[in-house]
Amino acid sequence: MSTQTVSVQDAQKRLAELIDLAKQGDEIVIAQDEQTRVRLVPFTSHSAPRILGQYHGKIMMSRDFDDPLPDEFWLGENP
């Protein structure tokens, strides 16, 4: 595995190649104006489907969860 840093302009020209390299495990860093901006990584999907009700009875929510917050909260004041 290696790391490559490329400019935005270079990345635009070589996008398909850079995607293949990232899928193989290489780290691709894209820089703009000589500053690192983004990292190209392969997309990973969730392998296990979500199961409705899987945590039923295991998670509790406080009774005041939906209550309005006090004005002090929105004004940044400490009560």
CATH of domain 3-40: 3.40.1620.10
DSSP 50: P
∠ CA 10-38-43 to the nearest 5 degrees?
100
Tens digit of each residue's pLDDT (9 = 90 or more) over 61-70: 899 999 999 8
pLDDT reported for residue 79 = 58
Tens digit of each residue's pLDDT (9 = 90 or more) over 20-62: 999 998 999 999 998 999 999 888 777 788 889 989 999 888 9
Given a cut of 80, whether residue 75 has pLDDT beyond it is yes
Closest to 17 in 3D by CA, of 32, 36, 4 = 4
| Sequence spans of domains, the chain | 3-40
Model pTM?
A: 0.54
